[in-house]
A = this chain, B = another copy of it.
Amino acid sequence: MSEHQFSGRFTFEELTKEETPLRILQSTMHEMGSNGLTNLTTKNISQRANLSTGIIHHYFDTKDNLVYAAYVYLVKDLHQCSLEVGRTENDPKKRLLAMIRMNFSATHISQEARNIWPQFWAHAAYDARIERLLRAYYSRCHSNLTYNFRQLISDPQNAKMAANMLLASIHGVWFFHRFNAIPSEPEQAIAMLVAQLESLLATYQEH
């Protein structure tokens, strides 16, 4: 049974293999992104997917479960991307650089994610179940960064600190890039984070 079970009826994998529940999920993500959680209705979701409202409850039982499933979908997709980075790059520093770049890539994921992440954060702030999912995702990101820093920085404590700081920096730069508050060209954002990575390595690495 899936780690990410979210309703009594099906597991995540079973659901997304089928056509209709996947359409519902994608429609939900689109609606969440463009109108926010507050204005998310089963009517809007079903209309966008050209389905009836009833079918939503057939597959997801409640609206809450559907929204949760959307976050799981988002997180799994991104995790898949980071696994791919781990496979294609064999040098730890190259992997860190690839992970930075990944966050600003223009795949369908980022385009959708751009609008959903803020809803995700807001939801996690008052819903314990959503918060657990968010924390699990960031925890995995952090482990991933730490693993790579360990191969570049001899002191494990320093490697962990470098991972902390890079994770925070990636998040911060992505955030201001998202809201166009800092020069918002992806290239500049990536350059800032590459400089940050170099700076962290220079600080913590003993040659």
Question: What residues make up the interface of A, taking CB atoms closer than 8 Å to B?
Answer: 33-39, 115, 118-119, 121-127, 131, 134-135, 138-139, 142, 161, 164-165, 167-173, 175-176, 179-183, 192, 195-196, 199, 203
Shortest beta-carbon contacts, A-B, top 8: A172-B172, A168-B172, A122-B122, A36-B126, A118-B125, A171-B172, A118-B122, A138-B181
Q: Is the CB of A181 within 8 A of B37?
A: no
Q: A121-B121, A121-B122 are in contact. Are A183 and B164 (CB under 8 A)?
A: yes
What are 30 contact pairs spanning A and B, CB under 8 A? Answer: A33-B125, A34-B126, A36-B126, A37-B37, A39-B126, A115-B125, A118-B124, A119-B122, A121-B121, A122-B123, A131-B179, A134-B179, A135-B180, A138-B181, A139-B181, A142-B182, A161-B192, A164-B176, A167-B176, A167-B182, A168-B176, A169-B169, A169-B172, A170-B172, A171-B171, A171-B175, A172-B173, A172-B175, A195-B203, A199-B199
In the complex, A131 Cα to B118 Cα: how many Å? Answer: 12
In the complex, A127 Cα to B179 Cα: how many Å? Answer: 12
In the complex, A36 Cα to B67 Cα: how many Å? Answer: 15
Q: In the complex, how many angstroms separate the beta carbon of A66 from the nearest chain B beta carbon?
A: 14
In the complex, A138 Cα to B139 Cα: how many Å? Answer: 27
Q: Is the CB of B173 within 8 A of A168?
A: yes
The interface residues of chain B lying within 8 Å CB-to-CB of A182 are 142, 164, 167-168
Q: A167-B172, A192-B165 are in contact. Are A179 and B38 (CB under 8 A)?
A: no
The interface residues of chain B lying within 8 Å CB-to-CB of A199 are 199, 203
Q: A37-B38, A161-B192, A203-B199 are in contact. Are A121 and B124 (CB under 8 A)?
A: no
The interface residues of chain B lying within 8 Å CB-to-CB of A172 are 167-173, 175
The interface residues of chain B lying within 8 Å CB-to-CB of A195 are 165, 203
